[in-house]
Amino acid sequence: MTRFSANISMMFTERPLRERFAAAGAAGFPGVEIQFPYELAADDMARLARLAGVEIASFNTPIGNRAAGEVGIASLPRREADFRQHVVLARDYATAVRCRNVNVLVGVCLDGGNKDRCINVLYDNLYYAASELQAAGIRLTIEPMNTTDRPGYLINTLDEASAVIDRIGHPNLKIEADLYHMAMMEEDIPASLRRNLHNIGHVQFADWPGRHEPGTGALDLPAIVALLEAGGYGSWFSAEYVPSETTERTLSWYEPWRSAAT
Ligand SMILES: [Mn+2]
C-alpha cells in the first residue's frame, strides 16, 4: 500500500513543533519526517509520534555550521571526526524513534574549491555512514539538490548520485529522490526515475515551480507514484512542500490515497 508522510519542518508550521505530529496524524498521514529533529529529545519525539499514531519516515544528519556556509559536513576535509559523531548521533536517534532511513547532506566543497579532495572525503564518509547505519538496520540516503537553491551542492541529479553509489559500492547507500529538485535539474524526470530506480530508497515531492502542494505546478504525482510502484519501489512518498495557505487547506491532492488507506 502506498504510504505518504508529511514533512513537519515545512508543513503544519502553524503549530509548535510538538503539536505537528498529531496534526499530521489527524490529517491521515501514517508518517512524518523532519529535517533536523535534534531540538527534541529522542524519547520525547518517540512518545509524540506514538501518541499521534505516526511513524518517523526519515531525517537528516546535522547540517553543521550554517553561518559558515556548511550544508552538512560530509565532504569537508579535516572534519571527519565531527562527521562520525554526527552519524553516531543520527544512528542512536533513529534507533530511539524507530526511524529506518537517515539522509546525509553531501554539502558543498569549502576546501578552497579543491573538489577532488572533497569528493574523496565524501566517499570515505559515506562508506563509514552506510556501514554504521546498516548494523543498526537503518538505510542511508543521499539527496541530489538543485543548484539554484543550493549553489555548489555536490550532487545535483539522480545519475550523479547513482555514479557515487556505484563508486562506493555499499549496498546500504541509496538515493533520496526529491521531485522538486528533479524538476529543476533533470531533462526527463520519468526517464531518470526509471534509469535509477534500483538505487532509489526514499522519495520526496513538492510541485514546481514554487515548491508548493501538488496541483500548483507541473508535477503529475499520480503518474510518478504509479511509475515508481510499477518498478518495485515500496518505501515512503514524503510531502515536503511550503503550503500555499493553511496546511489543512492544501491537502486535496492527498484525498484519493487517504480514502484508500481507511
Ligand atoms: Mn528534499
Q: 80 CB contacts (<8 Å, ≥6 apart)? A: 121, 124, 125
Q: What is the pLDDT of residue 113?
A: 74
Determine whether 143 is an active site residue.
Answer: yes
- Rounded distance between C-alpha atoms, residue 122 and residue 126, angstroms: 6
Closest of 245, 236, 255, 256 to residue 6, by C-alpha? 236
CA 177 to ligand 1 center in whole angstroms: 8
CA 60 to ligand 1 center in whole angstroms: 10
CA 240 to ligand 1 center in whole angstroms: 6
Q: Copy the grid coordinates of residue 217.
A: 505546478
Is the bond into 37 cis (omega within 30 degrees of 0)?
A: no
Give the 3-state secondary structure of residue 54: coil
Residue pLDDT, tens place only, 90-137: 999 999 999 999 999 999 998 787 999 999 999 999 999 999 999 999
Q: 185 CB contacts (<8 Å, ≥6 apart)? A: 144, 146, 147, 156, 157
Q: Average pLDDT, stretch 214-222?
A: 98
- Report how many helices (DSSP H) and strands (DSSP E) the chain contains, helices first: 9, 9
Closest of 143, 101, 131, 148 to residue 5, by C-alpha? 101
- Out of 70, 132, 143, 186, the active site residue is 143
User: DSSP assignment of 109-167, as one string?
Assistant: --STT-HHHHHHHHHHHHHHHHHHHHTTT-EEEE----TTTSTTBS--SHHHHHHHHHH
CA 178 to ligand 1 center in whole angstroms: 5
- Rounded distance between C-alpha atoms, residue 200 and residue 74, angstroms: 20
CA 46 to ligand 1 center in whole angstroms: 22
- Rounded distance between C-alpha atoms, residue 59 and residue 5, angstroms: 12
Closest of 138, 74, 150, 64 to residue 100, by C-alpha? 138
Map out the domains of the chain with their CATH numbers: 4-261 (3.20.20.150)
Q: What is the pLDDT of residue 111?
A: 74
CA 143 to ligand 1 center in whole angstroms: 7
Q: How far is CA 233 from the centre of its chain?
A: 15
- Rounded distance between C-alpha atoms, residue 233 and residue 230, angstroms: 7
Q: What is the pLDDT of residue 259?
A: 87
In this model, does residue 87 exceed pLDDT 90?
yes
- Rounded distance between C-alpha atoms, residue 197 and residue 218, angstroms: 21
% of the chain exceeding 70 in pLDDT: 99
pLDDT range class, residue 262, cuts 50, 70, 90? low
Determine whether 229 is an active site residue.
Answer: no
Q: Copy the grid coordinates of residue 204.
A: 520526496
Q: What is the pLDDT of residue 110?
A: 87
- Rounded distance between C-alpha atoms, residue 20 and residue 23, angstroms: 5
Contact predicate 75/107, CB 8 Å: yes
Mean pLDDT, the chain, integer: 97
- Out of 55, 70, 176, 240, the active site residue is 240
Residue pLDDT, tens place only, 150-160: 999 999 999 99
CA angle at 161 for the pair 158 and 162, rounded to the nearest 5°: 85
